[in-house]
Structure 1
Amino acid sequence: MAEFMTETEQRSPGVPRPGTAGEPRPGTAGEVRPGTAGEPREKAGDTGPLDGQEAAVLLERTRALVDPELRAAVESLPGSMRRVALYHFGWEHADGTPAAGNAGKAIRPALVLAAAAALGGPAARVAAVRAAAAVEVIHNFTLLHDDVMDRDTSRRHRPTAWTVFGDADAILAGDALQALALRLLAEDPHPAAVPAAARLADCVVELCAGQHADTELEQRAPDAVTLDEVLAMAESKTGALLGCACAMGALYAGAGQEEVAALNGFGRQAGLAFQLIDDVIGIWGNPQHTGKPAGADLAARKKSLPVVAALGSGTPEAAELAALYGKPYLEEEAEAGEIARTALVVERAGGRDWAQAEAADRMALAVQELSRAVPDPEAAGGLLALAEFVTRRHS
């Protein structure tokens, strides 16, 4: 786990914070912004990162810089795997015709470039473009494989690659993307490319360990999973790559070990906040925005962070939730409002409020880590704007 411990890690595993289940916890000192993590702040006159404008500019700039490198790399794949990858990135339809699809928000490559700029200025940002593309390729390798393992049928508002091309083609395309990412760094003449490649390889191993832990936890009974276990798994699956992205940007800026470690810690904590909010959206998100059916995580009986917090709350609703999760979800139950009922039970047991408060805590820790490496708030602004963006989502 990360260096700093929150109240979550200090209390008994699986027990949400004290307080009335289902009621929001007061804000934690040191939160990045006022308000509840995962919800938009509405205040007249807000400007800058709070309304997402700075993050939007950074993400747009990242796409402009990274997409040509990314597209060229994908185009270099053999035809059978290239067509799967081009479809997955949203650049082609299943029949191979061009598509103006959504290749994702580019959060991870934006973190690489923002970290490089924070410590080395514009020149370092430009030098880190290939590294940023490598991180985005790794991210998409994990998505291809995760969709197969989780049997997810929709991503970015279109059918997942395995549902179109089959399991084998989706897995092999993911394997090819992993090798492609390391080749991007191996061919990069920048002196930071070698340590960056080693760090990215270590990150892939951690990602795989996190995915293994995730699948193992899903096999257990609902009351046999602790909150600390799920937090550790989430750090490996989500926090590790965001931390790696920030650390790679620092390497390309010529930063020292302490600065690289601090930016890694920043990304990991922001990644945990990201996952907490993503889990909230997985239960209560709007399908028109998420591209996934409402309550898909509940239907799959996923032991997401809000669910595990609710299961360990000691409330009457926790027992009810354990009973619901103890039996498989049946499609015919959808008409009876089974998913809506389960979501309400999680909320009444305090799972939603806990996750939002924990996300705010994690962001506070992320800011602490960032200040160690980039004490100048202006220089750190891009990284803070991106962290704010990923933890203020509400769809």
Structure 2
Amino acid sequence: MASFALGWCEADGTPVTGGGGKGVRQALAVLGAEAVGAAGDEGVVAAVAVELVHTFSLTHDDVMDGDERRRHRESAWRAYGTGPAVLAGDALFALAVETLARHGGGHTGAAVARLAGSLRELVRGQADDLLFEERPWTGAAAVRPAEYEAMAAGKTGSLLACALTLGPVLADAPPPVVEALGEAGRQLGAAFQAVDDLLGIWGDPGTTGKPVHGDLVRGKKTFPVLAALAADGPAARELAALLSPGIPLDAVSARRAAGLVEAAGGRNAALAEARSRVAAARECLYGVPLAPRTVDELVALTGFLVDRRL
């Protein structure tokens, strides 16, 4: 089940290749270690630990959201059942901690603490994301922009920050450098989440592996919709009227809602947010002494985070 979740095999154990996702977090982990001149295996150890935690989080996320597809095939809970998938996710997390404990070298304690702290933030962000689905789109109880930002920082930013800093922590890099890399990761997380929100509404199912308008149908509070509702104009008002009753959208009303979000400026606002966050991440990378070649590679990777759209 763990191999299936990682994209290494089919549900029956038949090996496959090319199904392991985008590899963004592993790349950040390796580049983060290289950026501080780590000469050992710190980047590889960090990449393995981070990817195990990431896959654990996706396995549980699919159970909580009821998502039946992940990376163009059945999600783990659909392939094996809910209970087994939850246990597989637990095992992946245990393997991540064991990886650091066995191979972290002289700074294992600090690395495990950082991974655990990131997981705590991730869990809180995921909890908020689920709770937001039960809150109304408008009115006194509606999700506010600051709440959304805190959710995205935990759900997505925490693990990207961990990816960039875990190798440097293992390599005993100076604290100001580690913190600058962590802030870069948090900014990238906000950008990544904004683009994910775009893909959750307008993404091509052939690319994303998920149904079009899926986030709207489920009532997920995403950046494009919140930005559109905050705008002034007829499209924003019609969108609020469409969403405010709290009745789940069908395919037709979801399509209409997506059009209104775009007309009210939500789509452009999310893309602008992603670009702004990427720019902030780049400022963090340029603000501390890091290996220039590696910084160039990190900057190139940040561009991918925005360009992986529609």
**Could you say whether these structures have the same fold, taking a TM-score greater than 0.5 normalized by the shorter chain as the test?**
yes
**Which residue of 328, 333, 339 corresponds with 2:247?**
328
Amino acid at match of 1:115: G
Which residue number corresponds to residue 283 of structure 1? 201
In the TM superposition, what is the alpha-carbon distance from 1:127 to its structure 2 partner?
3.2
- Corresponding residue SS for 1:192: helix
- Corresponding residue SS for 2:188: helix
Report Cα offsets for 1:153-197 as digits up to 9, x if no partner.
Answer: 111000111112111111111111111100100111522332111
Contact 1:120 1:254 in 2 (8 A): no
Contact 2:111 2:169 in 1 (8 A): yes
Distance 2:60 2:241 in 1: 30
Q: How does 1:171-186 map to 2 (within 5 A)?
A: 171-186=86-101
Q: How does 1:358-369 map to 2 (within 5 A)?
A: 358-369=273-284
Contact 2:56 2:93 in 1 (8 A): yes
Distance 2:79 2:304 in 1: 32
Amino acid at match of 1:273: A
Contact 2:114 2:162 in 1 (8 A): yes
TM-align CA RMSD: 1.6
Which residue number corresponds to residue 60 of structure 1? none
In the TM superposition, what is the alpha-carbon distance from 1:318 to its structure 2 partner?
2.4
Which structure's relative contact order is higher, taking Cα pairs within 8 Å and 6+ residues apart? 1
**Which residue of 65, 70, 81 corresponds with 1:155?**
70
Assess, with a 3 A threshold, how the Cα gap between structure 1 residues 253 and 383 changes in structure 2: closer, same or farther: farther
Report Cα offsets for 1:231-262 as digits up to 9, x if no partner.
Answer: 11001100111011111122234311100000
Assess, with a 3 A threshold, how the Cα gap between structure 1 residues 202 and 189 changes in structure 2: closer, same or farther: closer
Q: When you count helix as a share of all residues, which structure comes out higher?
A: 2
Assess, with a 3 A threshold, how the Cα gap between structure 1 residues 374 and 279 changes in structure 2: closer, same or farther: farther
Distance 1:189 1:179 in 2: 15
The alignment status of 1:215 with 2:127, answered yes or no, reads no
TM-score, normalised via structure 2 length? 0.93
- Corresponding residue SS for 1:152: coil
Contact 1:119 1:255 in 2 (8 A): yes
The alignment status of 1:112 with 2:29, answered yes or no, reads yes
In the TM superposition, what is the alpha-carbon distance from 1:287 to its structure 2 partner?
1.1
Amino acid at match of 2:271: Q
Contact 2:25 2:47 in 1 (8 A): yes
In the TM superposition, what is the alpha-carbon distance from 1:145 to its structure 2 partner?
0.7
Distance 2:21 2:48 in 1: 13
- Corresponding residue SS for 1:191: helix
Distance 1:270 1:248 in 2: 16
**Which residue of 90, 108, 127 corresponds with 2:42?**
127
In the TM superposition, what is the alpha-carbon distance from 1:327 to its structure 2 partner?
3.7
Which residue number corresponds to residue 182 of structure 2? 264
Contact 1:295 1:343 in 2 (8 A): yes
The alignment status of 1:87 with 2:1, answered yes or no, reads no
Q: How does 1:168-207 map to 2 (within 5 A)?
A: 168-207=83-122
Q: How does 1:297-376 map to 2 (within 5 A)?
A: 297-325=215-243, 326-329=245-248, 333-334=250-251, 337-374=252-289
Distance 2:103 2:208 in 1: 35
- Corresponding residue SS for 2:103: coil
Report Cα offsets for 1:322-363 as digits up to 9, x if no partner.
Answer: 333334335xx43xx333211111011111111111111111
Amino acid at match of 1:118: A
Which residue number corresponds to residue 144 of structure 2? 226
Which residue number corresponds to residue 57 of structure 2? 142
Contact 1:206 1:237 in 2 (8 A): yes
Percent of paired sites with the same residue: 46
Which residue number corresponds to residue 76 of structure 1? none
Distance 1:363 1:390 in 2: 8
Amino acid at match of 2:91: A
TM-score, normalised via structure 1 length? 0.74
Which residue number corresponds to residue 295 of structure 1? 213
Which residue number corresponds to residue 17 of structure 1? none
Distance 1:266 1:249 in 2: 15
Unaligned runs of 5+ in 2: none
- Corresponding residue SS for 1:374: coil
In the TM superposition, what is the alpha-carbon distance from 1:286 to its structure 2 partner?
1.2
Amino acid at match of 2:5: H
Distance 2:236 2:144 in 1: 13
Distance 1:373 1:133 in 2: 26
The alignment status of 1:391 with 2:306, answered yes or no, reads yes
Assess, with a 3 A threshold, how the Cα gap between structure 1 residues 388 and 374 changes in structure 2: closer, same or farther: farther
